[in-house]
Amino acid sequence: MILTLFYSFLSVEDGAASLFRWSADGKYLARKGKDLISIYELPSMRLLDKKSLKAEGVSDFEWSPKDNVLAYWAPEQANAPARVSVVEIPSRKELRQKNLVMVSECRLHWQVAAFAWEPAGDRFALVLGDVPKLEVTFYTMKGGAGKNELQVLETLQDRPFNHIYWSPVGNICILAAMGDDVGPHNGRLEFYDVENQSTLKQTEHFRCNYIEWDPSGRYACTAVSQPVTGGHWKAQMDNGYQLFSFQGERFHEFKKDHFYQIQWRPRPASLLTSAEKKKVVKNLRKYDKRFEKDDREKDRRKAREAMADKIQMKLEFRQQASGLSRVADMKLRLEARRQELVDLRNGYDSDDESHYVVDSRTGEVVLSVKEVIQ
């Protein structure tokens, strides 16, 4: 027996074409209807669970570009606010729903390139858009006047960065452009101070595919490594690592063929309690004068060492100059006694080149003989 299935689809109002959208893995095909979303399984094209997904007032929907997750939104209706829902397929489990007010239009975008929380703080960073013109936005969860509200701190426009690496102690983060999809920007780095909203340093480690902060947050390591599994690795000429300070200053570089991995040595657990740590941070400004004094003393010590080096170089120069002076003095004394020496040799001047005859002769020497018999 041959079973033939026939489907008919109603056209969308205003003459627009019926929209079918594929899931990321190609297992499902979805179409928006009135107050519902019809999801079909491939290759049978049967309706999933023999029923459509109820989505009252749905206006638009989008599949996740990675997982079988579907997001849709519905505008305000009567006294009901607009809402956005995220649903897992095929379980139809609603993962998240958000009510929105005063909304005239909503666009669903899944192109989040990167997301990262500040390890020791209340901020996070989000990278959105398409390469190479991405935008990096920093948020805080403690915005507003004494209220815990989500607030945008700053947005960096037209950046090629698709990765975010926060310092373990927070505040400083590395924005990185990594991978072939960023094209000529591959390896660009920006050390950014979120607290002061300023760029500390823009630099580059071409083709780097690994970035990690050390546990103290004072240094960062970037590396170009190849898979341990072997095979041809197109970037093996660039293999190696570089070390940076948290200000973005490169102070060490090492290149190594067949470079596979690098890791920071773990730091032991702190002996301070959470309360003691907070106390240290709170009273940190009290130590500013002490730290500034130490820095000034360090600068003075470096200046003294530099001055001592200059004095030593000057002494060495004078010694060399003194030696040259002695040679010149000997030549003057020899010139003064020249006539006396000529008289002692009965008028013969041994320094006069006209007394010499240059005889040039050319000689030939056979080094080897090779006999060829044909």
Residue pair 179/189 in contact by the 8 Å Cβ criterion: no
pTM over 0.85: no
Q: Indicate the helix (H) or strand (E) that contains 279.
A: helix 274-282
Per-residue pLDDT of the chain (374 residues; tens, 9 = 90+): 344 444 444 444 443 444 788 888 889 999 999 999 999 998 899 999 999 999 988 989 988 877 889 999 999 888 888 999 999 999 999 998 888 888 878 877 667 888 899 997 889 999 988 777 899 999 998 876 666 778 899 999 999 999 999 999 999 999 999 988 888 999 999 999 999 999 999 999 999 999 999 999 999 999 999 887 765 566 678 899 999 999 999 999 999 988 899 999 988 888 889 899 888 878 877 887 888 888 889 889 989 999 999 988 988 888 777 777 777 778 888 888 888 888 888 888 877 777 788 888 888 888 888 888 76
In single-letter form, the type of residue at position 54 comes to K
Question: Distance between CA 28 and CA 305 in Å, rounded?
Answer: 73
Across 229-243, b (16+ Cβ under 10 Å) vs e yields: eeeebeeeebbbbbb
Strands 112-117 and 123-130: antiparallel
Question: Distance between CA 350 and CA 217 in Å, rounded?
Answer: 77
* DSSP-assigned letter for residue 218: S
Residue pair 188/206 in contact by the 8 Å Cβ criterion: no
Question: Distance between CA 246 and CA 174 in Å, rounded?
Answer: 9
Residue 197 backbone dihedrals phi, psi, to 5 degrees: 50, 55
Name 373's Cβ contacts closer than 8 Å, sequence gap at least 6: none
Q: How far is CA 374 from the centre of its chain?
A: 70
Question: Distance between CA 208 and CA 176 in Å, rounded?
Answer: 9
Written as six digits, the tokens of 218 are 């004072």
Residue 76 backbone dihedrals phi, psi, to 5 degrees: -65, 140
Residue 84 backbone dihedrals phi, psi, to 5 degrees: -120, 130
Residue pair 134/125 in contact by the 8 Å Cβ criterion: no
14-100 carries CATH number 2.40.10: yes
Residue pair 55/42 in contact by the 8 Å Cβ criterion: no
- Farthest-apart Cα atoms in the chain, separation: 138
112-255 carries CATH number 1.20.120.1200: no
Question: Distance between CA 141 and CA 118 in Å, rounded?
Answer: 11
